[in-house]
Amino acid sequence: MQTFTPPDGRWHPDVLGDDFEQRTLPLGVDAEGDVFATLVRYRPKDAARSAQPGRLPAGGQIFAGWDVLYVHGWNDYFFHPHVARWFAERGARFYALDLRKYGRSLRPGQTHGLISNLSEYDYDIAAALEAMADDPFEPTRARRPLEEIASLLTPARSHHAHKRRLALFGHSTGGLILSLWADRHAGRADALLLNSPWLELQAKAIGRQVIAPMLELQSRVDPHNTLPSIDLGYYNRSVSAEARGQWTFNEEWRLPRGCDMPAIWLSAVLAGHARVAAGLDVRIPILTMTSAHSTLSTTWNDAMLRTDSVLNVRDVAERALGLGPEVTVVRIEDALHDIFLSRPRVRQAAFDSIARWAGGYLR
């Protein structure tokens, strides 16, 4: 039987192991009962040793002074310890948010992912940012010899004496949510990283324009109406270690063939797509990463092991250019929909892209 950490304002052990902790964030009550989000943080037990000069990663600690907040996609949750470690090794404090009614935050009797407007996630994100601001942890910053000498000549400052910068990191629907949030909350974040963000319906704008009015009417008539999942399990086959992938995860939190979609949720997503299509004005550096190719098919194809089998990556890249004035688009060869669940060589290429981008834009 699954147990839940209490919403007591404290950090508790997380399912990802010793280096991870979680904090339950109460969000009030809706028609299905108490609502929670869950913030996960990475706190390496050997932080001091990993910060020694001889262990500095290539490019140095390019995220020193940064907080990174990761948000997952539909039918998903955070189970990416390798991503947390990569950012932490480069100086960041890393956090991940399981949104309401997903993953660690899903409670018995709740409808998976149910929400009526993507702006409702403002409360989840606000609660996460507040908990991050209350976190006194300051990563040990590795210094090279000359930096160490300079530090001795500089008056010491408390970690509260400077404001940490915030990088938002969203995957799929999480990328859509964070793009819209950054547009509504100008000045709150300092960078936006997107991993295959769901910025447009697979049926393109014309399909969205046909479907959206019908969904909106259906949602008004019956807000609890659900649409059957159209997930054939091919993406899971490319990810799960039980099939042809490399990853083990909780299949109650990430269902192998997806789950029924609340019509009102899909209507909210399509409204978000329409806003993106009209153009956003996110005035911070944006990095959008996609696979180099898509394989969208109703039958299995081995190309799904090295392409995005969920989204049309060309549409994503096109929509990304309308997010703001400073957008970089990188296409990663042989990447899956979640680029950071791809093969090691592909993941490394994606991490290298982040490092190059951060080295140029975030200094």
* CB 110 within 8 Å of CB 29: no
Half-sphere exposure of 232 (CA within 13 A, CB side): 10
Alpha helices for 37-172 (secondary structure H):
47-50, 81-89, 121-134, 145-152
Mean pLDDT for the chain? 90
End-to-end Cα distance, the chain: 47
DSSP secondary structure, 69-108, as one string: EEE--TT-----HHHHHHHHHTT-EEEEEE-TTSGGG--T
pLDDT tens digits for 103-153? 999 999 999 999 999 999 999 999 999 999 999 999 976 555 555 555 445
* CB 290 within 8 Å of CB 329: yes
* CB 200 within 8 Å of CB 316: yes
Taking each helix axis as running N to C, give the angle between helix 173-184 and helix 121-134, from 0 to 180 degrees, rounded to the nearest 10. 80
Q: What's the CA gap between 352 and 6, in Å, rounded?
A: 38
Q: State CA 84 to chain mean position distance.
A: 11
229: number of Cβ within 10 Å: 14
Tens of pLDDT, residue by residue, the chain (363 residues): 577 999 999 999 999 999 999 999 999 999 999 999 999 999 998 765 555 555 667 678 999 999 999 999 999 999 999 999 999 999 999 999 999 999 999 999 999 999 999 999 999 999 999 999 999 999 976 555 555 555 445 444 444 435 899 999 999 999 999 999 999 999 999 999 999 999 998 766 656 565 767 677 666 767 678 877 888 999 999 999 999 999 999 999 999 999 888 889 999 999 999 999 999 999 999 999 999 999 999 999 999 999 999 999 999 999 999 999 999 999 999 999 999 999 999 999 999 999 999 999 998
DSSP secondary structure, 201-223, as one string: -TTHHHHHHHHHHHHHHHHHH-T
User: For residue 190, what are the contacts with CB-CB under 8 A and spacing of at least 6?
Assistant: 66, 165, 166, 167, 284, 362
pLDDT tens digits for 203-257? 666 565 657 676 776 667 676 788 778 889 999 999 999 999 999 999 999 999 9
